[in-house]
Chains A and B, each alone.
Chain A
């Protein structure tokens, strides 16, 4: 579509000319999906809360298992990635493609560090005797944090797809909204982690 053609209909998603609410369909769709995802984590967190203390007499419980300093650091890394994704969006808004790419990559790397930390933590727990099938605590802990890890990984895939697009020269300022929508998802995943970190790691202490 040529630029002249779009003059009247607007080339910018955020000014989608048919939207009743003034929000683009894409963005609204992501908000609605995130609303639904809240209930997914709600169900998983409730299950964990119900089962966290149901362990065998000789099993290690949450208090003995968790390494708070380590998880705090990886949580910090994840939270910082929310900042970098915002920097990527604002850079793109200013049409500063180069900076935007850097922050995009930084966000993906920070997310990957977090997931790596989670994998490391899982292997440590496994060596200490907490397997997926060991007891109810293990089952519900790995399921809850695993679902969160999958969410982060999906976010990384989206960010990397965006990055690869940018290498093909397809990242432009009018894609700002797409990045913003990925950003919404990314912030959501971070917020969920704050809840999980508080409830799962900090409460038992």
Chain B
């Protein structure tokens, strides 16, 4: 049985649908990638699994603001650092209107979506933990980092006082922060970006979770630091046997880290395959487009990149045909004739033209 089984996950904010029937599995000890551009629903998917989406007020739900979807970002390459990532909903806008979450996200056989809030709180941080995108805003500016680590140890492992501090220092050492005992007393603003992300990782792995969800953990970091952080994640996952759900728009990260990949477009999985298979035989035109827009060292410097034209639509409409059709170069009659199904087992895709294209 898979450690995490997401089945037909649907998330809507009022009238706006963010995730429209996403299914995938994460096996024990495996690294699974969730790839797609901003607004495709990958962050919302992870937040839904963690139970961190704002709850709608039952009975008296107010009309939610339509989901803000950022323009498509260039995928991979150096440009991406310049594009601010916006996680829809999870930011400041979340006071208004809650999320309506449907489907199933079974963790070890237990559906997380129907779990009582208090039971979910006992699992969060202990069995499944999350690493966020922006390490500065994700750490409390007025609490020493040591306390931000020990509070998890206290809550889930019952460690207190000196024992907790000692363990926190061990964790900082584990994630590669020098002089951990001194660092414990420091505040987030006194650390560098890479160090802050290491602290967030230390917090996430503090209770040896079985599933780690990393939401774009390297997006806010310098390229050299990115490599170090990815190396650290890989090392932690390998040594502890933790399963990792890696959310990213960076196919380079996927290639280096993941065992399996799910490509998301407009709230649905459009292709899923083992990582080598995906890079060797990308089937869905969107995946092909993503791969084509990565700068490559083996091409000449004057060779232009091939961007995917247009940007992701802010309304999800799979009902009347493929949502990618307006941006697809190979669009044909059958594409807009109805809802495309996800076909295939090990290497699945959602493209009715796949056979013709191949």
> A and B bound?
no
Interface residues of B (CB under 8 A from A): none
